[in-house]
Structure 1
């Protein structure tokens, strides 16, 4: 199961760090700390503090233009997740569920199919989101 653990840890580390700089950060932080709370409750406060420190480091790196910090943080969290999964493989299913919930692609709106027919002097205005029409 080692390759599966490595792949899941890699995806988790990358997702966690990617979402640190988004509006989904609090949900991500809550999800990760809840995993530790269930499987390693004695480490929950330390993990929460480490997540907060990583979040601060990532935001600072965006301000200073440091391109390496995000990659380094992702590797750091991949290692933490891999070690958790190695000791507690039963975490894997909950982690997969959490990652599916946090997946930014899942939060995008579904595709919209629109169809219209016009005849004569009719006009059709369609939009999948905001639309502003100024007629003169």
Structure 2
């Protein structure tokens, strides 16, 4: 296997296992199963079962040894996926990027909590459409609109 793909498989495995032990485990599972759904639909159920099993291990016996074993197992799964479907590279890159962003957001929230700011940061997705001369105002928090 190409060295870059081996590194990607290792990085993805480490990202998945470390993220499964956080509050974002449901999102991690969704992302992992999504990769298989797109690239190996016949193996989607196995990926979901493997994610559930890893989550159970991390909840029941969260030792460093178990985490290492899980990372190795996921690395092999990702290598096999990349061997079978080289196009999955982009999906794994996206998975790693998204999990890194999630961890950064959690670290930022923890830092704010340490500084006494108890209001957790939230991700807000807003969509709006103005028709017939209408006006749309959107804000993630406070907004003051002065009439025209």
| TM-score (norm. length: structure 1) | 0.74
> What is the match of residue 20 of structure 1?
20
Q: CA deviation at 1:106?
A: 3.6
| SS class of match (2:61) | helix
> What is the match of residue 130 of structure 1?
117
Please tell me whether the aligned partners of residues 19 and 28 of structure 2 are also in contact (alpha carbons under 8 angstroms): yes
- Pick from 65, 68, 91 the counterpart of residue 68 of structure 1: 65
Tell me, in whole angstroms, the C-alpha distance in 2 between the residues paired with 1:77 and 1:89.
17
Which has the greater radius of gyration? 1
**Structure 1 stretches of at least 4 aligned residues deviating more than 4 Å after TM superposition:** none
Please tell me whether the aligned partners of residues 100 and 106 of structure 1 are also in contact (alpha carbons under 8 angstroms): no
Unaligned runs of 5+ in 2: 109-114, 119-148
Q: CA deviation at 1:14?
A: 0.5
2:83 matches 1:96: no
Tell me, in whole angstroms, the C-alpha distance in 1 between the residues paired with 2:31 and 2:103.
18
Aligned length: 112
- String of CA shifts for 1:76-96, please: whole Å, max 9, x gaps: 000100110111111111211
Q: CA deviation at 1:129?
A: 5.5
| SS class of match (2:75) | helix
> What is the match of residue 50 of structure 2?
50
Q: CA deviation at 1:102?
A: 1.1
Please tell me whether the aligned partners of residues 12 and 78 of structure 2 are also in contact (alpha carbons under 8 angstroms): yes
